[in-house]
Amino acid sequence: MNRENSGIVREISNCRICGSSDLGLYLDLGMMPLANNLAATSSDAKAMRRYPMQVQYCCDCSLSQLTVVIDPCELFSNYAYRSSISQAYVDHCRMMAHSLRESLGLKPGDLVVDIAGNDGALLAVFKDELDVRVVNVDPAQNLAAIAEAAGVPTISKFWGPETAEQVVAEHGKPMLITATNVFAHVDDVRSFVAAAKDCLSEDGTLMLEFPYGVDFIEHREFDTIYFEHLSYVLLEPVRRLAESLGMDVFDVQKQDIHGGTIRVFIGNEGTHAVKSSVGEFIAKEQREGYHDAAVYEDWNREIDSLIADFVAKITALKQGGAKIAAFAASAKGNTLLNACRFDTETVDYIVDDTPEKIGRFSPGTGIPVVDRSVLSADPPDYLIILAWNFAKEIVASTDEFSAAGGKYIIPIPAFKVIVSNAKA
């Protein structure tokens, strides 16, 4: 492939956490477009530049990572995903903020910094309900403007040493730095965590929340693979990274959001008592084989079968005369649709609630993204829930569709038809 002006910053030949070159490829989804770059026309969407979507495993520390890194400015400078669109995620943020205040003993006036805080959904809770000072750091200027309008001070930059210095100079040292659904997006994770260490108060906490590698494999979540997600993470590699920087992972908590995440607490070495949860998670990973390449090779075969089965069943529905649409123009949905080679011959449209997405076209497939009115005016027989992690919320909010006889299809971890709200 010609790399000049291709958008690929580099190909990965070493593990980004431990530096090992002992890497093994275990999944290849072919050439894929950027998941969140919706196009103005269907033809533009189909003609989008594509990149190799491959995942490799580090045989030393067990990190999974993509084989290429795409220019982050191309991915994140204008970002279509908005945290506050999902009420389920807003509720998750509220519970998270209150839990962190309680467990970490945050006091009024303490500073909380959220890295890649999107439109400020989490920090708004800290500011409005918990009386702490907040700073959002997010490179997407469109999201920064939304956060600022909501009263959340925002630095529109990528996180790194210079941004950390700016935070300290302008606001002081935070007691808590949160980074939800961003750690897996980061190429230079060492610099990312080191910048947080330099920014934090001596007894402060860095809290990472990211999709858990165990759930990724167990629940066959291959559609969460896209170019923003550079890494697919277990706890052990994070523990090694923290230790190498003079920090401790002192607690870990399982969360159900996004198909299964973990919340990892990191502090300067010796400043927090290390809880038993850390050793328990790492022992379970080891015991269940997640530090063995064979698990990932077996999973690859499962995913090949899952995709083939999904395509066969959707094709059979179409051949039987069914009209099919989808809900949520999500990044994971884009991976699924492109892996299945679907387009408007199979899926008529995708319903979405994000204003920035409506009227655009799904990358690679050219499927139009529409608002909810189309679901009522031109209802399908089946609605594929692409954001399956919010399936209950989506089904509950489209009860008129199901009441009229519409059926839902859940793609992950396997093809499943839902015929009523009670079964969601």
Where do the structural domains in the chain lie, given as residue ranges?
8-64, 83-275, 295-423
Per residue of the chain (424 residues), what is the pLDDT tens digit?
444 445 777 899 999 999 999 999 999 999 999 998 899 999 999 999 999 999 999 999 999 999 999 987 777 655 555 566 677 778 888 999 999 999 999 999 999 999 998 888 899 999 999 999 999 999 888 888 898 988 999 999 999 999 999 999 999 999 999 999 899 999 999 999 999 999 999 999 999 999 999 999 999 999 999 999 999 999 999 999 999 999 999 999 998 766 679 999 999 999 999 999 999 999 999 999 999 999 999 999 999 999 999 999 999 999 999 999 999 999 999 999 999 999 999 999 999 998 889 999 999 999 999 999 999 999 999 999 999 988 998 999 999 999 999 999 999 999 999 986 544 4
Contact partners, residue 279, CB within 8 Å, separation at least 6: none
How many Cα atoms within 13 Å fall on the side-chain side of residue 75? 24
Q: Do domains 83-275 and 295-423 have the same CATH topology?
A: yes
Q: What is the CATH number of domain 295-423?
A: 3.40.50.720
| Spatial separation of the C-alpha atoms in residues 187 and 14, rounded to whole Å | 12
83-275: which CATH topology?
Rossmann fold (3.40.50)
**Residue 164, Cα to own-chain centre: how many angstroms?**
23
Burial class (CB in 10 A: 0-12, 13-18, 19+), 190: middle
Q: CA-CA distance, 56 to 23, in Å (whole number)?
A: 6
- pTM for the model stands at 0.88
CB atoms within 10 A of CB 281: 23
